Each structure stands twice: as structure tokens, then as C-alpha cells.
């Protein structure tokens, strides 16, 4: 541990009043461990045990906060999955998920509901006003969350090459902000699909309030049951729920739903460190069935489906900055969220937001924008269209 912490210092205060210090200099993080059995739990299941200890109050940050702890550790551990034992464990978990075949038609609604059907007020307390629960797009580090999310919507709209009157499918439409934006700025008809009843109800309400319900339709429906064909398809933050063994099924369905000259855009969290497995703690407590794909896995499935990858953009630190803003807003509204749920829930979500932010800064997590088409000539020869002032 002493050699591992090369930058900054970590002080551990044990349950028996023992103190151990690793590294030296700033940043300095001090942790109090109140459970004398935590070391054993960490040895047996480190990914689960640390998060549970923080949730239960037996792993307490005395100096700094939980993000500072992750930032210190991840910055020193470096890019990717680290030691070969960790990589082996990640690959074993990945194989187990393949065998489990998550995201089946029967299981998918429950997996989505577990996260997205939480209190409606919860998401309003830390997301932007349009409830964009995905990576924002920062033109400068000084952009507010609202500005960065507006930039993201415009960037996606440009990549879709929208024309008035086109039919657009939004797979995993969330609270409807993107669908409503596309209908408003491009005068297109949008169908938004979600597996969350709470999200669908909110999106339908927003469509009525904004007078766009004649051009935007929302439904609780699995994308695999959709039969219509569309000029454009957009999917933001949904591919992480598809499942390792279902990538080919997903892209084959996208191809079937696209008209011959159609264009699709898939926006997904991804791993720049190659195929592996996500955090078991996050899958258990935050995103049941959620998985982080590598570009190599996505590309192979795209090729098998007979689609062209017409543009790929990798957003690196944009999601880290997005999570930083979410985490700050969450902490600003901690007392209200604790009233809705409890302190343990707040610590759980703080752990989730902080660990993800550090992961995007240090551990190879990125955001992929993958533009797809059935025909090689479906999009312009150059990328100039992405930077026009209007669509």
C-alpha cells in the first residue's frame, strides 16, 4: 500500500484506535474504520464490502469526503482494471453475466423499475431542469449543468441530420427531454419508448404542457416489440442495459427498424480499458442488470448486424464533469432526500455518484457516440454538419 500511494496520503484509523498512514503530501484523506471485521470482508468481496460499509456507517471519511477517497485511490491505481487478479475477477463476472442472460423481455421491466421508478422528486433535486440523466457536453469547463445538457441535445440533433417531418424513434427515452427537444427544434415526429411507468407518465405530462403531444408519443414498451420503421433512431443511456449476450440482437433490431437511408445514434457509457465487468456493488444497489461495453464488443456486433459505423466520437471527461455537478446538487439537497428515504440511502447514492465520477477521471470509463446507417452514403462525406449553428 505504501508503494501504491505515490501521490497524496491516506490515513486509516482502525476500530482498536490503531492508526496507519500511507503515502505523503496532499491530497490528504483520513478514514475511520468502525468494523473490526471489515478487512476480512474486503478480502473476500472488496467491490461489495466497501460500498456496504460506507452505507452502514462503518467506513467513515473523517478528512475529505468519499469522492476524495476514490480520487486518491483511482489516481494512484491508474488506468484500466489494475492487477491481474482484479482483471481475472472482472472477466469471470462478465462470463457469469453472459450465462445469466439478463435483460430478457420478462426481466427487463423489473431491472429498469428498480432504478428509474424511485421518487419523482429525487431526480428533480439533482438533475437539470429537463432531467437529462446522461452525459452532458461541455464546450468549456465553466459551463453550467443546464448549458452543458443543452449543448448535448444540440450535438445529438446535429448527428441525426434531421429533416422536417421525419419519424424518429427514441429508445430508452427517459423523462422525454430529448424527444421534446427534437420535436421542437426540428419539427419531427418522435416516438419515445421506456420501461419505466414513472418516466412515461412524466414525459406525457411534459408533452401536454409544452403543446407537443401532437408530435411526440411516449409508451411503456420494450424496443424489441416495436414494428414500425423510422427515418432516425436515437438511444441515449440505454445500451448499458442491453446485456453482453444481446448486443447482436440489439443492432439487428436497429437495422430492421431503420428505413433504407436511415441514421441511428447510440450514446452509451463504455470502457476504454477493453472488455471486463462493472462494479458488483453498483449492479446490486443501483443498476440491476447494468453492464459497461467495450468499443471492441460494440463494433463486432455492429458488423454482424450489417450496419455501417459512420462516425464514432469518444467523450472522455464530459461524464466526469456531469457527475461532479450531480454529486454537488445531491449533497446540497441531502436533508430533503433523507426525508424522502433515509441517511443510508443518501450515503448509497453519494458512494455511487462519487465512485463513477472517479472512474471517468481515472479508470478508463468514457462515453461513446456511435452513428450508424444501413447505407454507406447515408451521411455526408465530412463532419462539417456537426458544427452548423442550426439544424
Residue 3 within a domain: no
Classify residue 85: in a domain, yes or no. no
Place of cell 427515452: 173
Same-domain status, 245 and 112: yes
Q: 189 and 56 share a domain?
A: no
CA–CA separation, 35 vs 12, rounded Å? 12
Q: What is the pLDDT of residue 94?
A: 46
Rg over alpha carbons for the chain, rounded to the nearest Å, is: 22
Q: Is 356 a catalytic residue?
A: yes
Domain of residue 130, residue span: 102-387
If asked whether residues 39 and 143 sit together in one domain, one would say no
The grid coordinates of residue 264 equal 441511428
The three three-digit cell numbers of residue 256, written as one number: 430492421
How far is residue 56's CA from residue 160's CA, in Å, rounded to a whole number?
Answer: 45
Instruction: Say if 92 falls within a structural domain.
Output: no
Q: Which of 77, 94, 118 is the last residue of a domain?
A: 77
Q: How many domains are there within the chain?
A: 2
**Element at 190 (helix H, strand E):** strand 189-194
Report how far residue 7's alpha carbon sits from residue 64's, in angstroms, rounded to the nearest whole number: 16
Residues 6+ apart with CB under 8 A from 3: none
In a shared domain, residues 118 and 69 = no
Are 267 and 184 in the same domain? yes
Residue 353: CATH number of its domain: 3.40.50.150
Beta strands in 25-137, from DSSP E residues, in sequence order: 28-33, 59-63
Domain co-membership, 57 together with 117: no
Q: Which residue of the set 135, 200, 346, 356 is catalytic?
A: 356
295 found inside a domain: yes
Residues 65 and 128 both lie in one domain: no
DSSP code at position 294: B
**288 and 345 belong to one structural domain:** yes
Q: Are 42 and 130 members of one domain?
A: no
Report DSSP letters for 346-362, one per residue: HHHHHHHHHHHHHHHHH
Residue 312, classed as helix, strand or coil, is strand
Are residues 189 and 278 part of one domain?
yes
226 within some domain: yes
Centre a 10 Å sphere on the Cβ of residue 281 and count the other Cβ atoms it contains.
Answer: 22
Whether residues 277 and 331 share a domain: the answer is yes
Write out the chain's pLDDT in tens, 391 residues: 445 677 889 999 988 768 888 888 888 999 999 988 888 888 888 889 999 999 999 999 999 999 999 999 888 876 554 444 344 444 444 444 544 455 666 566 666 666 777 888 999 999 999 999 999 999 999 999 999 999 999 999 999 999 999 999 999 999 999 999 999 999 999 999 999 999 999 999 999 999 999 999 999 999 999 999 999 999 999 999 998 889 999 999 999 999 999 999 999 999 998 887 678 899 899 988 888 999 999 999 999 999 999 999 999 999 999 999 999 999 999 999 999 999 999 999 999 999 999 999 998 999 999 999 999 999 999 999 888 754 4
Residue 276 within any structural domain of the chain: yes
DSSP H or E stretch at residue 73: helix 66-77
Instruction: Please tell me whether residues 73 and 106 are part of one structural domain.
Output: no
Q: Is residue 106 included in any domain, yes or no?
A: yes
Do residues 158 and 223 make contact, with C-beta atoms less than 8 angstroms apart? no
Residue 171 lies in a domain: yes
Which residue in 57, 15, 42 sits closest to 350, CA to CA? 57
Please, is 147 exposed, middle or buried when counting C-beta atoms within 10 Å of its C-beta (0-12, 13-18, 19+)? Answer: middle
Domain end residue (candidates: 21, 44, 77): 77
Amino acid at each position: 500500500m505504501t508503494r501504491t500511494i505515490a501521490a497524496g496520503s491516506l490515513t486509516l484509523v482502525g476500530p482498536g484506535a490503531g492508526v496507519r498512514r500511507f503515502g505523503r503530501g496532499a491530497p490528504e484523506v483520513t478514514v475511520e474504520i468502525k468494523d473490526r471485521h471489515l478487512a476480512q470482508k474486503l478480502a473476500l468481496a472488496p467491490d461489495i464490502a466497501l460500498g456496504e460499509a460506507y452505507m452502514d456507517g462503518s467506513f467513515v471519511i473523517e478528512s475529505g469526503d468519499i469522492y476524495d477517497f476514490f480520487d486518491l485511490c483511482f489516481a494512484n491505481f491508474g488506468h484500466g482494471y489494475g492487477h491481474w487478479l482484479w482483471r481475472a475477477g472482472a472477466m469471470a463476472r462478465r462470463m457469469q453475466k453472459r450465462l445469466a442472460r439478463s435483460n430478457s423481455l420478462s426481466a427487463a421491466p423489473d431491472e429498469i423499475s428498480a432504478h428509474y421508478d424511485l421518487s419523482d422528486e429525487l431526480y428533480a433535486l439533482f438533475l437539470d431542469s429537463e432531467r437529462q440523466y446522461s452525459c452532458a457536453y461541455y464546450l468549456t469547463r465553466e459551463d453550467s449543468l443546464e448549458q452543458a445538457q443543452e449543448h448535448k441535445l444540440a450535438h445529438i440533433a446535429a448527428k441525426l441530420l434531421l429533416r422536417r417531418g421525419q419519424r424518429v424513434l427514441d429508445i430508452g427515452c427517459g423523462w422525454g427531454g430529448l424527444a421534446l427537444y427534437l420535436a421542437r427544434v426540428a419539427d419531427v415526429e418522435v416516438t419515445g419508448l421506456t420501461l419505466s411507468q414513472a418516466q412515461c407518465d412524466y414525459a406525457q405530462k411534459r408533452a401536454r404542457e409544452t403543446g407537443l403531444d401532437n408530435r411526440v408519443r411516449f409508451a411503456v414498451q420494450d424496443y424489441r416489440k416495436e414494428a414500425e420503421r423510422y427515418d432516425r433512431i436515437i438511444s441515449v443511456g440505454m445500451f448499458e442495459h442491453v446485456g453482453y449476450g444481446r448486443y447482436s440482437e440489439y443492432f439487428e433490431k436497429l437495422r430492421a427498424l431503420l428505413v433504407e437511408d436511415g441514421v441511428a445514434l447510440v450514446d452509451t457509457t463504455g470502457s476504454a480499458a477493453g472488455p471486463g465487468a462493472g462494479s458488483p456493488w453498483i449492479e446490486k444497489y443501483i443498476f440491476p442488470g447494468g453492464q459497461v461495453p467495450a468499443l471492441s464488443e460494440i463494433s463486432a456486433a455492429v458488423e454482424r448486424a450489417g450496419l455501417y459505423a459512420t462516425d464514432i466520437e469518444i467523450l472522455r471527461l464530459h461524464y466526469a464533469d456531469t457527475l461532479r455537478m450531480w454529486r454537488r446538487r445531491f449533497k446540497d439537497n441531502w436533508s430533503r432526500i433523507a426525508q424522502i428515504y433515509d441517511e443510508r440511502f443518501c450515503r448509497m447514492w453519494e458512494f455511487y455518484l462519487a465512485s463513477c465520477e472517479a472512474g471517468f477521471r481515472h479508470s478508463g470509463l468514457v462515453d461513446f457516440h456511435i452513428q450508424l446507417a444501413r447505407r454507406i452514403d447515408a451521411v455526408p462525406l465530412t463532419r462539417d454538419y456537426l458544427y452548423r449553428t442550426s439544424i
